[in-house]
């Protein structure tokens, strides 16, 4: 059997079983322990499996949730709500709109549902730009420094880049919403970019599920009354007096 063939089959085998020992693989593929370990090391380097002590596990079972490792179980439950929010946000885009799409997972979700091909789109998310292009949309990207973790574009060049445009609609993500602190995010540089984007948009929409209400991160990027919040549940009447909230059923 070919080396490559054995490794390909090994990946399939591990994915099927989800977790296997070195001994299992030795029997299954009739190879020595050294060979199996070598294979696992290679496949691990290729990111095709996860090599662990004693054997290997499928990578796919974990990879789904690794996007935001610090997020607690509480937040990850709101998948369905986020989906509805994204869908509604996408439906707001009209012909000839000049749309800014903020980096972040919520806005990324939104791109799936965008249907309007007559609008123009601009984003500071690398993955966002790629997704927009794949949908055949008229896409632009803001230049600047790339942030490793979130694959967002930030920095002074980015801020300056935004400054020359005037969007009709901006779709933003946030980490916290509070009446006093407004919309907040943990990263200073990201906050600057967000602030500039909101400032250069005719209307700004914040996409946030109900868990974001009452949360405050380190840096404010917009006042509570400057944006329209799209959410799934209005948790507190305090907010309605300050800003417009669209509750998605």
User: Looking at beta carbons only, is 25 or 177 nearer to DNA?
Assistant: 25
Residue 194 CA to residue 95 CA, distance in Å, equals 24
- For residue 229, report the phi and psi dihedrals to the nearest 5 degrees: -90, 130
The partner residues of 84 in beta bridges, in order of sequence, read none
Cβ(169)–Cβ(132) under 8 Å?
A: no
Q: Give the torsion sign (CA, 205, 109, 218, 194).
A: negative
Cβ(184)–Cβ(219) under 8 Å?
A: yes
Q: Which residue has the tokens 């796919």?
A: 60
Residue 117 binds: one of DNA, a second copy, none (C-beta under 5 to 8 A by kind): none
The count of other CB atoms within 10 Å of the CB of residue 106 is 22
* Long-range pairs for 138-146: beta carbons < 8 A, 24 or more residues apart: 145/189
x/- letters, 4..33, toward a second copy (CB under 8 A): xx--x---------xxxx------------
Quick check: 161 binds a second copy (CB under 8 A)? yes
| Contacting residue, 103, 139, 175, 211, with a second copy by CB under 8 A | 139
Quick check: 104 binds a second copy (CB under 8 A)? no
Residue 142 binds: one of DNA, a second copy, none (C-beta under 5 to 8 A by kind): a second copy
Interface with DNA (CB under 7 A): 3, 6, 21-23, 31-35, 37-39, 41, 51-55
Nearest approach, Cβ of residue 198 and a second copy (Å): 18
User: Alpha carbon 62 to chain centroid distance?
Assistant: 17
Quick check: 136 binds a second copy (CB under 8 A)? yes
| SS3 at position 75 | helix
Q: Which residue has the tokens 């949908």?
A: 135
Nearest approach, Cβ of residue 80 and DNA (Å): 8
User: Looking at beta carbons only, is 1 or 64 nearer to DNA?
Assistant: 1
Quick check: 55 binds a second copy (CB under 8 A)? yes
How distant, in Å, are the alpha carbons of 88, 152, 180, 199 from that of 107?
12, 12, 24, 18
Quick check: 151 binds a second copy (CB under 8 A)? yes
Nearest approach, Cβ of residue 38 and DNA (Å): 6
Nearest approach, Cβ of residue 114 and a second copy (Å): 15
Nearest approach, Cβ of residue 18 and a second copy (Å): 8
Residue ranges binding a second copy (CB under 8 A)? 1-5, 8, 18-21, 50, 52-55, 57, 61-62, 126-127, 129-130, 132-133, 136, 139-146, 148, 151, 153, 155, 157-158, 161
């Amino acid at each position: 059997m070919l080396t490559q063939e054995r490794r390909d089959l090994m990946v399939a085998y591990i994915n099927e079983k989800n977790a296997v020992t070195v001994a299992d693989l030795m029997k299954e593929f009739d190879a020595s322990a050294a060979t199996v370990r070598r294979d696992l090391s290679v496949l691990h380097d290729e990111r095709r499996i996860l090599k662990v002590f004693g054997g290997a596990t499928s990578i796919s079972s974990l990879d789904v949730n690794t996007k935001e490792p610090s997020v607690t179980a509480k937040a990850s439950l709101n998948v369905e709500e986020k989906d509805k929010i994204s869908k509604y946000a996408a439906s707001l885009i009209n012909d000839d709109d000049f749309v800014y799409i903020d980096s972040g997972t919520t806005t990324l979700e939104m791109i799936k549902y965008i249907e309007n091909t007559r609008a123009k789109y601009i984003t500071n998310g690398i993955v966002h730009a790629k997704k927009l292009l794949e949908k055949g949309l008229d896409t632009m990207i803001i230049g600047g420094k790339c942030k490793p973790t979130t694959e967002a574009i930030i920095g002074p060049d980015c801020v300056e880049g935004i400054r020359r445009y005037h969007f009709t609609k901006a779709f933003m993500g946030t980490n916290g919403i509070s009446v006093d602190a407004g919309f907040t995010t943990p990263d200073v540089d990201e906050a600057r970019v967000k602030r500039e984007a909101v400032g250069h948009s005719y209307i700004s929409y914040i996409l946030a599920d109900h868990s974001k209400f009452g949360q405050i991160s380190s840096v404010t990027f917009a006042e509570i009354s400057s944006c329209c919040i799209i959410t799934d549940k209005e948790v507190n009447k305090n907010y309605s007096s300050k800003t417009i909230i669209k509750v998605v059923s």
